[in-house]
Amino acid sequence: MRTPRRDWLRHLSAAALTMVTAPRASAKPRWKSERAGIGLIGCRYQGTVIGQIARSFGDVVAIADVDRHVREQARASFGSTPTIHLDYRDLLSRPEVDVVMIGAPDHWHAKMAIDALAAGKHLYCEKPLTLTIAEGRPILQTWKRFPQTFQVGSWQRSDHRFRLAVEMVHQGRIGKLQRVDIVLGKNEQGGPFDVTAAPKHFDWERWQGQTVETPYIPERSHYTFRWWREYAGGQLTDWGAHHIDIALWAIGEMPNLVEAVAKWPDPSMQFYNVPTDFQVRYEFPSGVQMEVLDEGRNGILFTGTQGRIFVNRGTLEGTPVDQLTSQPLPREAFGLYRHDNLERPERVGKLDAIQNHIGNFFDLLGSGNPTISDPISQHASAIACHLGNIACEVGRPIRWDDASQTILDDPEAQRLCQRPQRAGYEVKEPD
């Protein structure tokens, strides 16, 4: 059985570890006795979900969203007392905001996270942490300079089913891990869509942020942003930020080879532009193989030399799971993470698991201890997701060198690790 410390270190991206070390413990946080002031950025759906759950630990005092209707509806949901802002930077300037929770679309996560850290705010940011591989470095460098408590919203780590599955893999309940099979689901297909005028209550120019400015199409924004490569990565970064993250937690290392096959919609038309079909295969230095599909039973199948475990948001099953009756694995024996609050009940399912995930964040607020989905581990998980999309785009195997954080011997694929950014919206370390 591997030691917990070794498991922790093996999971982290090697280059990320050279960039940042865990922040030192600070003085006793005042939030043990006082309620934190919470600022919400991006409130269309997930931002409001996490904000409502966070009210168990603090008070929502400020809201920012580029859609006036959304921010006004959000304020009504939180008792009509929070201040509301078009520009999130105005929210960051408010001294009563102790904690920032980001529910904005993916292409805004990195810049908002950097700005929040630089403003001295503790941070809960929705997954995936980044839009591109290159965005991870300035986030980690900023966190090194401004070491606030930082949780990424990959909440399956706080779901007891997923946590138990990974603990069982690490503790040898399936023997030596050989293979992981993941099903994420299909990308949405749609289009062609019509260009129209943006509604007056919606600041479309600001919503686009770092991306190339384009005429307004309603389907590009709000929930369906995830099916456009300009703003997200389809299922590989949506569900992938959950399932691939759990898989990497179990495998304990980064892939060194990724290959994929994909089919694409017509690029000359205004269609959703993520792949209509995809299949991605990952190889790891230890010999573990991982395959990610878009069809089949959603979930994760771990296969080892002595058994298999399947887990998704509705079940945990397999012979090793059945054997827990006679060979229990209590939470006190878990070794993957050292800062569990064992007073919290075991919870499963999205909303209940998010309650524990946000609870982990607030438990550690200002303590200097790492959260269960800290930015180092989540940068590594995002890299794996982005590599899958890059392999889909180039249509050939790519080799990843984690120490240098580069794709080897393939300039075209390496260029896809970053994107041009519009002036005024660049993702970079603060001055």
> Token match 């299949």: residue?
279
H or E element, residue 230: none
pLDDT tens string 318-366? 999 999 999 999 999 999 999 999 999 999 999 999 999 999 999 999 9
Contact 153, 159 (CB under 8 A): no
Average pLDDT, the chain: 93
CATH number 3.30.360.10 is the correct assignment for the domain at 158-332+380-415: yes
From the options 3.30.70.120, 3.40.50.720, 3.40.50.1980, 3.30.420.250, give the CATH code of 4-156+342-374.
Answer: 3.40.50.720
Q: Where are the alpha helices (DSSP H) in 209-258?
A: 240-251
Write down the pLDDT at residue 324.
98
Specify the pLDDT at position 8.
36
Longest dimension (CA), the chain: 64
Distance of CA 254 to the CA centre of its chain: 16
**Domains of the chain by residue range:** 4-156+342-374, 158-332+380-415
Q: Which residues face 400 on adjacent strands?
A: 407
Kindly report the pTM of this predicted structure: 0.94
pLDDT recorded at residue 80:
83
Model pLDDT for residues 27-67, shown as the tens digit of each residue = 344 555 589 999 999 999 899 999 999 999 999 999 999 99
Question: Looking at the DSSP assignment, which residues form a beta bridge with residue 152?
Answer: 125
Alpha helix stretches (DSSP H) within 187-234: 204-208
- Mutual angle of helices 160-170 and 240-251, in 10-degree steps: 30
Q: How far apart are CA 88 and CA 66, in angstroms?
A: 9
Each residue's pLDDT tens digit, 219-267: 999 999 999 999 999 999 999 999 999 999 999 999 999 999 999 999 8
Q: Which residue do the tokens 């569900």 mark?
A: 239
- Count Cβ atoms below 10 Å from residue 80 Cβ, excluding itself: 8
Residues 106-123 have a mean pLDDT of: 98
